[in-house]
Chains A and B, each alone.
Chain A
């Protein structure tokens, strides 16, 4: 545990530039992941109610 903590501290936190860049990169990844997760949850919550779920009933592909 202490070893992981020390690795984390020495590789990321020690230099502020690295720390801040990691935070920004993490923010990007977090926003993408959060978006995907919320969309997935929304789709599963509203399964069968959205246009993309019922589109095939009304539009036949040519």
Chain B
């Protein structure tokens, strides 16, 4: 007995309907044309063919050609029940409206269009005014936190009574946490400071640039080397001497000898000789 072998073969069936490049469906073997009903003999009476074979059954209505009034469509409004039928005994018929999903807003609409618009813009403007004001004060208050507080400003200036300092004496006061030297220089010291050949110094600076009044020398008492406080009326040049590493400053506070790189710093100050006051800061 010959064994039966089932072979599955994929067969490519040519499509019965395809679409032409123009988009028109083409089915070469199927006749889609509607045939006239009741003319099995295919008599050629195309003028009055009667109802079409694919026309809906007369149960629902029909379209036919009347000899007197041309093409007539009849639709039965009370079509007889065709399938399973359940009678709905309760129903309401809502009023037909243009857009049934949208509620009626007429009671809420503004009575006056322009008043409504102006009110909306007034509200927008007021909101803008308040937010702009808030933003402005936020920025200013934030910037104010960066400025110096009142206690710092109170400590920023120091007033000294210069009438109480005799000639040829040093006074050391504290200003912003640092010592400040004030020297009432004698005439000899002024001449000595001004006659020095300052161009050859390490940090060349004339005495005229370092003092506002030649009698009064005001400078920060911090050695420019490593920040010690120099000792007054000491050193090789009759000025200041730093004990830490041996820097010598002259009577104008200029560095003359030792490791310090620059002259003693001169702070901002004002001298009011009429009232005998010296304001540092």
Size bracket of the A interface: 20 to 34
Interface of B is mostly: helix
Min C-beta distance of A49 to chain B, whole Å: 20
Q: How far is the CA of A12 from the CA of B128 in the complex (A)?
A: 14
Partner of B130, one of A4, A6, A8, A30: A30
Give the residue name and chain of the B residue nearest to A34 (CB).
B133
* A53 CB to nearest chain B CB (Å): 21
On whether the beta carbons of B117 and A9 are closer than 8 Å, the reply is yes
Which A residue sits closest to B125, measured CB to CB?
A23
**Which one of B114, B119, B130 has the highest number of Cβ atoms from chain A below 10 Å of its Cβ?**
B114
Cβ-based interface call for B137 (8 A): yes
State in angstroms the CA–CA spacing of A51 and B122 once bound together: 42
Q: Residue B55 at the A interface, CB < 8 A?
A: no
Q: A5 to B132, Cβ gap below 8 A? A: no
Interface-central residue, B112, B118, B128, by most chain A CB under 10 Å? B118
**Nearest-Cβ distance from residue B174 to partner chain A, whole angstroms:** 29
Please give the residue numbers on chain A whose beta carbons come within 8 Å of chain B beta carbons, in ascending order.
1-2, 4-6, 8-9, 12-13, 19-20, 22-24, 26-28, 30-31, 34
The chain B residues found within 8 Å of chain A, CB to CB, are 112, 114-115, 117-119, 121-122, 125, 128-130, 132-133, 136-137
